[in-house]
Structure formats: structure tokens, C-alpha cells
Amino acid sequence: MNATINGKPFNGKNCFYSDALNPINITGGTFTDPASSFPSMRLGIGNYTGVGTYAMGQYSTTTGWSGAALDLAYGQTRNSVSGKIVITSASPLKGTFDFVCDDGTVVADGSFCASKD
């Protein structure tokens, strides 16, 4: 998973997804050890139906939502308020994304290719 966060590059070398529950959850980060857990991103798509564009709002755990969370450091989570996720391939799961967080942080030019968790 790659993106820019306020113009600075983000490279989440590990990207995986879970579709055990609706919404589908896509997570990217380094995750090589506990100290390298940050930054990381979580994208969620409520009512996932495959290839297409999904509007993003406030990150939530409620069924039917689509949103994102950006974890900059332990206890420093920024939640999306607007944006979109575009799924370009369902198998493997690939797509693009961009969003704005509740504190004004801008995540742009995002892309991912996720392995199933």
C-alpha cells in the first residue's frame, strides 16, 4: 500500500484484507515488529460488491459504512471524513484511494494490492 500523507511518501510494504465480515477491511503498513507498526492505514468498504467506486465518510464500525483510519503513532489515529476507494480488480484485490481526515490530514495518490488475511 502506497500513498502520500500531507505530501510525504507512505510505503506500507505489507498489505492484506479480510472479508470475514461486511465491511471488507484492507490494512497496510510495515508490521515487521511492534515498533514498526506505525504509520499504518485501514480502509473499510461497507456493502462491498466488487469492482467499482465507493464513497468514503467517517470511519466507523457500523455495517454499511465506508471509511479509513490513519494510525500515525500509538494513540494518534486520524479518521476519514471524505474521500473514495476505487476497486480495480477483485482477484487479486487492487485499487486506489484518497481521503481527508478529521484533523485536515490529506492522504492522496493511494494504491494497494492486498493479500487475503
The count of structural domains within the chain is: 1
Separation CA 117–CA 50 (nearest Å): 17
Identify the domain containing residue 96 by its residue range: 2-116
- DSSP summary character for residue 42: E
Query: Quick one: 92 exposed, middle or buried, by C-beta within 10 A (0-12, 13-18, 19+)?
Result: exposed
pLDDT in tens, the chain (117 residues): 999 999 999 998 899 998 876 678 899 988 765 555 778 898 988 888 899 999 988 766 555 678 888 888 778 888 899 999 999 999 999 999 999 999 999 999 999 999 987
